[in-house]
C-alpha cells in the first residue's frame, strides 16, 4: 500500500510550530509578523485562495492586511501600492495574488517587490538565490515540496527526479532546488518533450506541475516511485455545492497502487504552499527584527 504524503497534516504541524514562536514573540513584547495580500479583480478562485491565506495568518497569530483593487486599476497605480508596501516598516512581507488582469505585466509588477519582502519567492533575485545557494526567500510551492519530502525522511540525493512542467513558479525552481539542495539527478520535461513516458518511467521521484488532469497514467510510472502531484485544475462536479472539484495531473486511482508515496489532490502540495508562505513571512520578520537589533 502506498503511503499518503499528507500535506494537510504536515502543514498543520508547521503552523503549530510557527504559532508557538509568534506567541513567544508577543509575550516578550514584540510585534507579530505582518503579511499583506494584494488582490486585483474578482476572480472567484483567487478570492478562495486568498481566503485560505488569511485563515492561515489568523491560525498562527500573524497580523494581516488585505488590499483589494478593481480589475480596472492601472499598472502604474498598482506599482505605487507595491512601492508603498516596500517602504512600510510594519509590513514584513506581501504577495500579489495571481492571475492579474491582462493589461498588467506580472513580470513588471513582480520585479517591483522588494526581494526581502517577496514571501512568494517570485522575484528574479529570489529565484536566482536558489543557484547561488544563499536563499533569501524560496519560491513557496517548491519550498513546500522540499519540506514535505524532508518531513517524510525521503532522501533525494542521487535519486532520479523527473519534473514535468517547467513554469517559473513551480517546475523550474523545483528542478533547481532538487539539483542544488537535493543533490538529485534531475530531468525537466515540458510541452515539447519527446516521449514523456520514457522519462517519467525512469523517475524514482516524479513531480508533475502542468495543469492537465489525468496526464500521468499508470503505465508512465515505475513500480515503487514517489509521486508528487502539483496540478490543481477545477473540473465541473454537479454533485458538489460549489459545482466543481479539484483534480491533479496524476490519474490517482490507477497510479497510487504502484507508488511508495503519493500526494493527494487536494490535501498534498496546496496546504504546503500556504505553509511555505507562512515560513517565508516568519523568516522575513525575523531578518527584519535582527536588522533593527
Ligand atoms: P503553467 O505556468 O501553465 O506551466 C505549465 C508547465 O507545463 C509548462 O512548463 C508547460 O510547458 C508544461 N506542459 C504543458 N503541457 C504539457 C504536456 N502535455 N507535457 C509536459 N509538460 C507540459 O502552470 P503552473 O503555474 O506551473 O501550474 C501548473 C499546475 O500546478 C496548475 O494546475 C496549477 O494550478 C498548479 N499549481 C498548484 C500549486 C499549489 O500550491 N498546489 C501551486 C502552483 C501551481 P512549456 O514550458 O513548454 O509551456
**In angstroms, what is the span from residue 73 Cα to ligand 1's centroid?**
27
Nearest CA to ligand 1 atom 18: 191
**In angstroms, what is the span from residue 48 Cα to ligand 1's centroid?**
20
Whole-number Å distance between alpha carbons of 160 and 71: 43
pLDDT for 9-28, tens place per residue? Answer: 999 999 999 999 999 999 99
Whole-number Å distance between alpha carbons of 208 and 104: 28
Whole-number Å distance between alpha carbons of 91 and 279: 15
Active site residue 108: no
Active site residue 238: no
Report the nearest atom of ligand 1 relative to the CA of 272.
40
- Residue of 97, 117, 118, 251 marked active site: 97
What distance lies between CA 276 and its chain's CA centroid?
7
- The edge-to-edge listing of strands for the beta sheet with 226-229 is 3-4, 261-262, 226-229, 205-208, 160-164, 185-189
98 Cβ contact partners less than 8 Å away, ≥ 6 residues apart: 46, 106
pLDDT for 222-251, tens place per residue? Answer: 999 999 999 999 999 999 999 999 999 999
Whole-number Å distance between alpha carbons of 280 and 197: 35
158 Cβ contact partners less than 8 Å away, ≥ 6 residues apart: 183, 184, 185
Q: Which residues line ligand 1 (CB under 6 A)?
A: 141, 164-167, 169-171, 189-193, 196, 209-212, 230-233, 269-270, 273
pLDDT for 96-143, tens place per residue? Answer: 999 999 999 999 999 999 999 999 999 999 999 999 988 889 999 999
Mean pLDDT of the chain: 97
231 within 8 A of 212, measured Cβ to Cβ? yes
pLDDT for 193-208, tens place per residue? Answer: 999 999 999 999 999 9
Whole-number Å distance between alpha carbons of 131 and 207: 20
Active site residue 53: yes
What's the whole-number mean pLDDT along residues 268-278?
98
* Three-state SS at 238: coil
- Following DSSP, what letter does each residue of 123-185 receive, concatenated? SHHHHHHHHHT--SS--HHHHHHHHHHHHTT---TT-EEEEE---TTTHHHHHHHHHHTT--E
Q: Is residue 293's pLDDT more than 70?
A: no
- Residue of 118, 120, 229, 251 marked active site: 120
Nearest CA to ligand 1 atom 35: 231
User: What percent of the chain has pLDDT above 70?
Assistant: 99
The three cell numbers of residue 223 are 513500480
For residue 1, the model assigns a pLDDT of 83
pLDDT for 65-83, tens place per residue? Answer: 999 999 999 999 999 999 9
**In angstroms, what is the span from residue 168 Cα to ligand 1's centroid?**
9
Nearest CA to ligand 1 atom 5: 210
Of residues 98, 48, 91, 100, the one with CA closest to residue 70:
100
The three cell numbers of residue 12 are 498543520
The separation between the first and the last C-alpha atoms of the chain, rounded to the nearest angstrom, is 51
| Phi, psi (degrees; rounded to nearest 5) at 93 | -155, 160
H helices of the chain, in order, are 7-27, 44-60, 75-87, 106-111, 124-132, 140-151, 171-180, 196-200, 252-255, 269-292
For residue 231, the model assigns a pLDDT of 98
**In angstroms, what is the span from residue 42 Cα to ligand 1's centroid?**
23
Q: Is residue 292's pLDDT more than 80?
A: no
Amino acid at each position: 500500500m502506498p503511503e499518503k504524503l499528507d500535506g494537510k497534516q504536515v502543514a498543520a504541524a508547521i503552523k503549530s510550530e510557527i504559532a508557538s514562536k509568534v506567541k513567544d514573540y508577543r509575550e516578550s513584547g514584540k510585534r507579530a509578523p505582518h503579511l499583506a495580500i494584494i488582490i486585483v479583480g474578482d476572480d472567484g478562485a483567487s478570492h478562495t485562495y486568498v481566503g485560505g491565506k488569511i485563515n492561515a495568518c489568523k491560525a498562527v497569530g500573524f497580523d494581516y492586511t488585505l488590499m483589494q483593487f478593481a480589475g480596472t486599476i492601472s499598472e502604474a497605480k498598482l506599482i505605487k501600492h507595491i512601492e508603498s508596501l516596500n517602504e512600510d516598516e510594519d509590513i514584513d512581507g506581501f504577495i500579489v495574488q495571481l492571475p492579474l488582469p491582462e493589461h498588467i505585466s506580472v513580470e513588471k509588477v513582480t520585479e517591483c517587490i522588494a526581494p526581502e519582502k517577496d514571501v512568494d519567492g517570485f522575484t528574479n533575485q529570489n529565484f536566482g538565490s536558489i543557484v547561488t545557494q544563499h536563499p533569501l526567500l524560496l519560491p513557496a510551492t517548491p519550498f513546500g515540496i522540499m519540506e514535505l519530502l524532508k518531513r517524510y525522511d525521503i532522501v533525494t540525493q542521487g535519486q532520479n527526479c523527473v519534473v514535468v512542467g517547467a513554469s517559473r513558479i513551480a517546475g523550474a525552481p523545483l528542478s533547481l532546488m532538487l539539483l542544488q539542495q537535493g543533490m538529485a539527478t534531475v530531468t525537466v520535461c515540458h510541452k515539447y518533450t519527446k516521449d514523456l513516458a520514457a522519462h517519467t518511467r525512469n523517475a524514482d521521484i516524479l513531480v508533475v506541475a502542468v495543469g492537465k488532469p489525468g496526464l500521468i497514467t499508470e503505465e508512465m510510472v515505475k513500480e515503487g516511485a514517489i509521486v508528487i502531484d502539483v496540478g490543481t485544475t477545477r473540473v465541473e462536479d454537479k454533485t458538489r455545492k460549489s459545482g466543481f472539484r479539484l483534480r491533479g495531473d496524476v490519474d490517482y486511482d490507477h497510479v497510487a497502487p504502484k507508488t511508495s508515496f503519493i500526494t493527494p489532490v487536494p490535501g498534498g502540495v496546496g496546504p504546503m504552499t500556504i505553509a511555505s508562505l507562512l515560513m517565508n513571512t516568519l523568516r522575513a520578520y525575523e531578518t527584519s527584527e535582527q536588522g533593527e537589533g
